[in-house]
Amino acid sequence: MFISVNSRQGNESPKFDRGTLNRPLRVVIADPDKMCRQKVKSLLAAEPNVEVVAECTRTQEIREALRLHKPDLLLLEPRMPGGNPFDILIPLSPESLPSLIFITAQDQYAVKAFESEACDYIMKPFDQARFRRALRRARVDAEQFRGDTLTLRQSNLIREVSSVPEERLIVKTEGRIVFLELDTIEWIEAAANYVAIHVGSDVYRLRQPISRIEKRVASHGYSRIHRSVIVNLRKIKEVFACNSGEYMVRLKNGKDLPCSRNYNSAIHMLVYGVKAGSGKE
């Protein structure tokens, strides 16, 4: 769904000139999440001299929005349906690139964005104060356009983050940024509004719901065996039955983890290679 907020007659499109101070900051919002787009629009509506010119929910729509509206700022969720958005941004000439602010729940892009001097990087969920700080930086970029310096920075950013690997989690702890390789994590436990990531004797806390972490690691040999437990299948030593047809999973480090009845299919897949109840044991 491509929403062009300000339609124009014919093929007329605005002249790209971020140095012009007497016009609004022109913004394109690219995010498949309708609630997030609505929140961003609401926050932008509270800011002076800002104009939302288009909303994009798929990767292909970003190209059309950039062509039609020549925005100053692209608010981008890097994970868009329909392909990698960076495949669209990379071929663009530097003068065609708007400033970029990432708005995402995926932390694997954060370090590359920081190293490449991204305009800003907002982690979901966020509040008005955090959004306002990011928008302030975007205004500085728009009003103090620095020619080759800025466009080179943008090009480098796009090329860097377009190939960020997903084989690790990034956790901020005690003033440090820790890179956790997925094959070193033993199990992940839900705890209130964050998860506890167990790596040997170390425990790292990440402020994300377990359902979101599950999507991140599911394709890397992890399985959810309980509403509050995700386990690295490579770290399992044995599985044994207990009361009422439920199972316990014992890790190589001796830790026992429960597998609730609702998640027994994960154990059947592990032990028998088939889904529970398939009759192919």
Rounded distance between C-alpha atoms, residue 88 and residue 162, angstroms: 10
Q: Tokens 């299948």 correspond to what residue?
A: 233
If residue 202 lies in a helix (H) or strand (E), which one and from where to where?
strand 202-206
- Superfamily designation of domain 168-272: LytTr DNA-binding domain (2.40.50.1020)
Rounded distance between C-alpha atoms, residue 222 and residue 182, angstroms: 9
Query: With a threshold of 0.75, does the pTM exceed it?
Result: no
Phi and psi based region of residue 244 (left: phi greater than 0; alpha: psi -120 to 50; beta: remaining): left
| pLDDT value of residue 266 | 66
Rounded distance between C-alpha atoms, residue 47 and residue 32, angstroms: 23
Asked if the bond preceding 81 is cis, omega within 30° of 0, the reply is no
* Secondary structure of residue 270 in the 3-state scheme: helix
User: Which tokens in the block code for residue 155?
Assistant: 């090009």
User: Which tokens in the block code for residue 249?
Assistant: 């999973």
Q: State CA 209 to chain mean position distance.
A: 13
Q: Which residues pair with residue 257 across a beta bridge? A: 249
Rounded distance between C-alpha atoms, residue 119 and residue 99, angstroms: 7
- Superfamily designation of domain 2-161: Response regulator (3.40.50.2300)
Count other Cβ atoms within 10 Å, centred on residue 1.
9
Rounded distance between C-alpha atoms, residue 277 and residue 281, angstroms: 9
Q: What count of residues does the chain have?
A: 281
Q: Tokens 């062509």 correspond to what residue?
A: 67
What is the number of alpha carbons within 13 Å of residue 225 lying toward its C-beta?
26
Render each residue's pLDDT in the chain as its tens digit; 281 residues: 666 665 343 344 444 444 444 578 999 999 999 999 999 999 999 999 999 999 999 999 998 999 899 898 999 998 889 888 877 777 776 566 788 888 988 777 665 555 444 578 888 889 999 999 999 888 877 665 544 444 555 555 555 555 555 677 878 776 677 888 899 999 999 976 789 999 999 999 888 888 888 888 888 889 898 889 999 999 999 888 777 667 788 999 999 998 877 776 666 666 655 343 333 33
Rounded distance between C-alpha atoms, residue 238 and residue 255, angstroms: 11
Domain definitions of the chain by residue range: 2-161, 168-272
Angle made by CA atoms 92, 95, 97, in degrees to the nearest 5? 55
